[in-house]
């Protein structure tokens, strides 16, 4: 039996280049590794915590499904599915809640951050916190444990969630005997945090993102808006800036070296932005074209998902049967 690699992304808005260079690119590389059984999914029930509108849910799910495929996910090689089509996830989530100490959830970074903000603002510590936010890590543990996952490729910000999934699997196994595979995170330490157009971390919540599939006009406009210093066009420029960070992401090594030289000699910011647009556009165009084709033929994408969902459910049913047996509940009759 092959070991399982599994990862998911929440559909919470158009993916940006921070998501791409931070997690998607590496997840796609992993998806090509035939040593493993690979599960890639859309974590739509995780998105429910921030999406409270049916139209947004539909739109972002569609965009994310097309993003995975446009970035190179091959549904012949991996199981590609939506979390919401695997009801066994939610049954396992409930069972896992009953072995998870409350204290573990109290320590979750995302929950603690909200509490901290509330305390600073002099509000009730749990102001605006619902149980979906509080139990988020248990749902994520269910996603992971349902498919006997060994490795979970994620960004650094998800490390604690995978550690919690590991703890929860161990709590369960300790009480009921070995039933659930204990997972490990797979973190690329060297993926830097991609900076946003304003110099802070790129994030949808800051509105400083470069969307992965912005059309050429929008891409040019966003690049021309990157903050730069006020040095004169002929003055040497430091490569320690947002613009050069993007040149490093999109440019080949030769291009980076050539641009570093031009920065040292003195290049106008306008010319540097023009160059960046050219290399970013050349990099993104093939993916953008594929993305647009998938968006226009979404029925085909849905068929691919349905195929993945059918296979994923068979595995999910096997795990649930094993878990029900362990806890002393009858199988489905």
Q: Is 158 in the site for ligand TRP (CB under 6 A)?
A: yes
Q: Round the CA-based radius of gyration of the chain to a whole number and report it.
A: 22
Alpha-carbon distance 296 to 180, whole Å? 40
Which residue among 4, 5, 23, 284 contacts ligand ADP (CB under 6 A)?
Answer: 23
Which residue among 16, 26, 38, 46 contacts ligand TRP (CB under 6 A)?
Answer: 46
Q: Which residues pair with 195 in a beta bridge?
A: 201
Q: What are phi and psi of 300, to 5 degrees?
A: -65, -40
Q: What 3-state class would DSSP assign to 81? A: strand
Q: Is 157 in the site for ligand ADP (CB under 6 A)?
A: yes
What is the rounded (10 degree) CA torsion for 109, 115, 121, 122?
Answer: -150
Pattern 158-177, ligand ADP, x by CB under 6 A: x-------------------
Half-sphere exposure of 291 (CA within 13 A, CB side): 19
Q: How many CB atoms lie within 10 A of CB 256?
A: 17
Pattern 122-151, ligand TRP, x by CB under 6 A: ------------------x--xx-------
Question: What is the total count of residues that contact ligand TRP (CB under 6 A)?
Answer: 14
Which of ligand ADP, ligand TRP, none does residue 184 bind (CB under 5 to 8 Å by kind)? none
Which of ligand TRP, ligand ADP, none does residue 19 bind (CB under 5 to 8 Å by kind)? ligand ADP
Pattern 189-208, ligand ADP, x by CB under 6 A: ----xx------xxxxx---
Tokens of residue 154, six digits: 């994620």
Name residues contacting ligand ADP, limited to 3-22 (CB under 6 A).
Answer: 9-10, 12, 18-19, 22
Q: What 3-state class would DSSP assign to 66? A: helix
Which residue among 137, 153, 155, 251 contacts ligand ADP (CB under 6 A)?
Answer: 155
Alpha-carbon distance 37 to 164, whole Å? 22
Which of ligand ADP, ligand TRP, none does residue 194 bind (CB under 5 to 8 Å by kind)? ligand ADP
Q: Is 273 in the site for ligand TRP (CB under 6 A)?
A: no
Q: Read out DSSP for 5-56?
A: EEEEE---S--BHHHIIIIIHHHHHHHT-TTSEEEEEE-HHHHTTT---HHH
Binding residues (CB under 6 A) for ligand ADP: these are 9-10, 12, 18-19, 22-23, 154-155, 157-158, 193-194, 201-205
Binding residues (CB under 6 A) for ligand TRP: these are 6-10, 43, 46, 140, 143-144, 152, 154, 158, 161
């Amino acid at each position: 039996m092959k070991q399982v690699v599994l990862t998911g992304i929440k559909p919470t808005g158009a993916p940006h280049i921070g998501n791409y260079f931070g997690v998607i690119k590496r997840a796609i590389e992993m998806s090509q590794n035939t040593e493993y059984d690979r599960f890639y999914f859309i974590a739509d029930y995780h998105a429910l915590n921030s999406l409270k509108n049916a139209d947004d849910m539909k739109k972002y799910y569609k965009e994310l499904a097309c993003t995975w495929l446009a970035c190179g996910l091959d549904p012949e090689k991996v199981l590609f599915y939506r979390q919401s089509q695997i009801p066994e996830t939610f049954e396992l989530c409930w069972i896992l809640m009953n072995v998870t100490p409350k204290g573990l959830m109290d320590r979750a970074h995302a929950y603690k951050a909200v509490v901290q903000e509330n305390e600073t603002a002099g509000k009730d510590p749990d102001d605006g916190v619902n149980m979906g936010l509080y139990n988020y890590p248990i749902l994520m543990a269910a996603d992971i444990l349902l498919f006997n996952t060994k490795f979970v490729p994620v960004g650094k910000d998800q490390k604690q969630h995978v550690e919690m999934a590991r703890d929860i699997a161990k709590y369960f196994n300790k009480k009921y005997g070995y039933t659930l595979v204990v997972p490990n995170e797979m973190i690329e330490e060297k993926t830097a945090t991609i900076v946003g157009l304003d110099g802070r971390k790129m994030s949808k919540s800051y509105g400083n993102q470069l969307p992965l599939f912005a059309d050429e006009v929008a891409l040019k406009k966003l690049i021309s808006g990157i903050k730069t210093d006020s040095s004169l066009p002929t003055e040497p420029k430091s490569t320690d800036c947002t613009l050069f960070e993007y040149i490093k992401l999109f440019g080949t090594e030769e291009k980076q070296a050539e641009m570093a030289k031009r920065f040292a000699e003195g290049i106008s910011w306008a010319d540097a932005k023009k160059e960046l647009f050219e290399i970013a556009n050349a990099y993104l165009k093939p993916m953008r074209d594929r993305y647009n084709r998938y968006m226009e033929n979404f029925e085909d994408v849905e068929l691919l998902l349905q195929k993945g969902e059918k296979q994923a459910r068979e595995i999910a049913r096997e795990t649930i049967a094993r878990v029900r047996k362990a806890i002393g509940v009858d199988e489905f009759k």
